[in-house]
Amino acid sequence: MGVLADFQIAALCRSGMITPFDEDLINPASLDVRLGETILIEAEACGLKDLNLHGFTKEKPFYLNPDEFALAHTLETFNVPDHLAAQFALKSSVARAGLEHLLAGFIDPGFNNSVLTLELKNARRMERFPLWPGMRIGQIIFYTMDQIPLSSYRETGRYNGDASVASCKGLL
């Protein structure tokens, strides 16, 4: 497997792999992704509570409390072709500020018509972490597959077609 370069990522994005696509999000070997508007916050009595971030901004953000867990989603929708796999990683500046991603960011070939759900936790003990729609939360690294898989996530995936953040659809 090889990592795709900026011009390869841009060409695939222009052909519909990522929507909406913004050229300014391209890095030498990755694509930045932004935070969407809906998050699910852990709530004591009811599991996860739906929260819309519409109206929050960089200047007036929503704050994730210390040690608080949330599911969020990317603004971008993915249509990953069968010859690629990808991996989500937090932006280093976001991680250095105290946000963690719980390492469930692998994107299978054929992940399509879906936003990526992010598992976030404020690792800070004393400070709240600011979140707002559109913030550059992470980056996607794309890999070429050595071979096309026999079974694409397009046929087998439980999280395809998710237009917003998706909670667990059942443990194995």
Report the catalytic residues.
119
What gap in Å lies between CA 62 and CA 86, rounded to an integer?
Answer: 29
Q: What token pair was written down for 104?
A: 């469930």
Sign of the Cα pseudo-torsion (115, 44, 64, 106, in order) = negative
Give the distance between the most distant pair of CA atoms in the chain. Answer: 48
What gap in Å lies between CA 77 and CA 21, rounded to an integer?
Answer: 9
Beta partners for residue 77, in sequence order: 19, 115
